[in-house]
Amino acid sequence: MRVIVTGGAGFIGSALVRYLVLDKGYEVLTIDALTYAGCEASLKVVEGKASHRFLKADICDRTAMDEAIAGFRPHRIMHLAAESHVDRSITGAADFIQTNVVGTFTLLEAARGYWNALAGEAKNAFRFLHVSTDEVYGSLGDEGLFEESTPYDPSSPYSASKAASDHLAKAWQRTYGLPVVVSNCSNNYGPYHFPEKLIPLTILNALAGRALPVYGKGENVRDWLYVDDHARALDLIIERGVPGETYNVGGRNERRNIDVVRRICAVLDELVPADAPREGLIEFVTDRPGHDARYAIDATRLETELGWRAQENFDSGIEKTVRWYLENDWWWRPLRDRYDGQRLGLNAAPA
Ligand code: NAD
């Protein structure tokens, strides 16, 4: 099985590449432009393996995509490359439109050209998985869950660009017959998560005794999924999902942001005792504009039709994640030094 993974030097993409190469024994070509968020060190464990190749290329570059696909002759393309940080999309949306919309279009066209030229079983078996987010559905109130049929209602430039790319992916299936499957997943956490995101930012700031910025009153709810559970889901969806269909992925692990931050503080206080409880470092900062109140995924379809279940519960997953950051400063310190987490975020100053 030959699989192309775009965005494979990113957080979820690298977890997927490690899973496909090490656990599934697939041959993988990682394509990644190595933007600020891409990190080759996340692929260290597959480095030098005959079954893994890495190509530094931009998904917006049609010639590079055509050549990569023609040269590797994949059975599957799993598309994860994206600009992914909501705060950055608010202060500079252009890269999000370019990579998430134009890049997805370019890759779909390259895949279509390749697929059109296939014949017989190879053509029937080819699959393209477009990996997306639950943020395309907008915000929930206190009740309800996002289902595959929930209307799109994105709030941020990031989620709007992902919504646009989802529509392109589905249109390429309906119009051209390209066998595209779409997945929409809730918030991921786990090892190799870039230090600007809430969970790693909190771990690293708390460890350094720095302020722990929390938007608003920390009451926004997210549905957290351990990244390795997502990687398994993606492999299952591309293997058994029906082209043209969408599969929601979520861990049934709803948590308020403030509770996530408190839980990290408690785990760290236990593992690395400090003079005072780290909860005291929490600083509430002015809320992000357009901040969705609550996301929660109904993953029934994935669970019943494809037999997937999240294996990691939130408490053990958070503890594993904190331990990983404590043991792997070789990975995060260079990133942290370049992109100081304390200065990231829209509102690093207290409200
Ligand atoms: P990430 O920011 O960690 O990684 C993105 C990767 O894409 C990076 O390695 C980057 O170098 C690469 N990239 C960016 N622009 C590129 C371009 N033009 N050409 C080639 N490579 C490029 O993101 P992530 O958190 O791993 O998310 C991966 C995918 O999953 C995204 O499509 C995202 O929308 C989706 N998703 C993320 C989450 C989450 O919680 N992180 C949840 C659901 C869905």
* Closest by CA position to 244, among listed 332, 185, 160, 172: 172
Mean pLDDT of 75-82: 98
- Among 159-163, 327-331, 343-347, where is mean pLDDT lowest? 343-347
Q: What's the pLDDT at 351?
A: 32
Q: For 23, what's the count of Cα atoms within 13 Å in the CB-facing half-sphere?
A: 10
- Domain hosting 103: range is 2-194+224-255+296-314
Examine residue 7 and state whether it is found in any structural domain, yes or no. yes
59 lines ligand 1 (CB under 6 A): yes
Atom of ligand 1 nearest to the CA of 85: 2
By alpha-carbon position, which residue is closest to atom 28 of ligand 1? 80
Is position 135 annotated as part of the catalytic site? yes
Examine residue 235 and state whether it is found in any structural domain, yes or no. yes
Atom of ligand 1 nearest to the CA of 8: 9
CA of 80 to the centre of ligand 1 (A): 5
188 lines ligand 1 (CB under 6 A): yes
Does this complex have an ipTM over 0.85?
Answer: yes
User: How many C-beta atoms lie closer than 10 Å to residue 208's C-beta?
Assistant: 12
CA of 10 to the centre of ligand 1 (A): 6
Listed in sequence order, the residues at least 6 apart from 8 whose beta carbon sits closer than 8 Å to its beta carbon are 14, 16, 17, 28, 30, 31, 32, 43, 54, 80
* Closest by CA position to 345, among listed 163, 253, 214: 214
What is the β-pairing status of strands 212-215 and 221-223?
unpaired
Q: How far is CA 229 from CA 69, 196, 276, 314, 350, in A?
A: 27, 22, 34, 12, 35
CA distance linking residue 120 with residue 225, whole number of Å: 38
Contact 70, 114 (CB under 8 A): yes
Give me the torsion for CA of 212, 334, 18, 304, rounded to 10°: 20
Examine residue 277 and state whether it is found in any structural domain, yes or no. no
Examine residue 29 and state whether it is found in any structural domain, yes or no. yes
By alpha-carbon position, which residue is closest to atom 27 of ligand 1? 12
Q: What's the pLDDT at 290?
A: 87
How many domains in the chain?
Answer: 1
Q: 24-50 pLDDT, tens per residue?
A: 999 999 999 999 999 999 999 999 999
Of residues 19, 26, 137, 158, which has the active-site annotation? 158
CA of 159 to the centre of ligand 1 (A): 13
61 lines ligand 1 (CB under 6 A): no
10 lines ligand 1 (CB under 6 A): yes
Mean pLDDT of 123-137: 98
* Closest by CA position to 226, among listed 287, 149, 308: 308
Give me the torsion for CA of 20, 60, 64, 238, rounded to 10°: 30
Examine residue 86 and state whether it is found in any structural domain, yes or no. yes
Q: 109-120 pLDDT, tens per residue?
A: 999 999 999 999
Residue corresponding to tokens 């530094």: 56
What is the β-pairing status of strands 180-185 and 127-133?
parallel
131 lines ligand 1 (CB under 6 A): yes
CA of 272 to the centre of ligand 1 (A): 31
Examine residue 236 and state whether it is found in any structural domain, yes or no. yes
Q: What's the pLDDT at 350?
A: 36
Contact 81, 56 (CB under 8 A): no
Is position 152 annotated as part of the catalytic site? no
Q: What's the pLDDT at 240?
A: 98
Is position 158 annotated as part of the catalytic site? yes
CA of 41 to the centre of ligand 1 (A): 16
Examine residue 218 and state whether it is found in any structural domain, yes or no. no
Examine residue 11 and state whether it is found in any structural domain, yes or no. yes
Q: How confident is the model at residue 337 (pLDDT cuts 50, 70, 90)?
A: confident
Q: How confident is the model at residue 346 (pLDDT cuts 50, 70, 90)?
A: very low
pLDDT of 300 > 60? The answer is yes
107 lines ligand 1 (CB under 6 A): no
Q: At 20, which CATH number? A: 3.40.50.720
Q: What's the pLDDT at 196?
A: 86
**Mean pLDDT, the chain, integer:** 95
162 lines ligand 1 (CB under 6 A): yes
103 lines ligand 1 (CB under 6 A): yes
Give me the torsion for CA of 225, 258, 89, 56, rounded to 10°: -40
pLDDT of 60 > 90? The answer is yes
Q: 194-203 pLDDT, tens per residue?
A: 998 999 999 9
Contact 182, 252 (CB under 8 A): no
Q: What are phi and psi of 24, to 5 degrees?
A: -95, -15
Residue corresponding to tokens 């998560």: 193
Contact 90, 155 (CB under 8 A): no
Contact 93, 157 (CB under 8 A): yes
Q: What's the pLDDT at 340?
A: 62
pLDDT of 285 > 70? The answer is yes
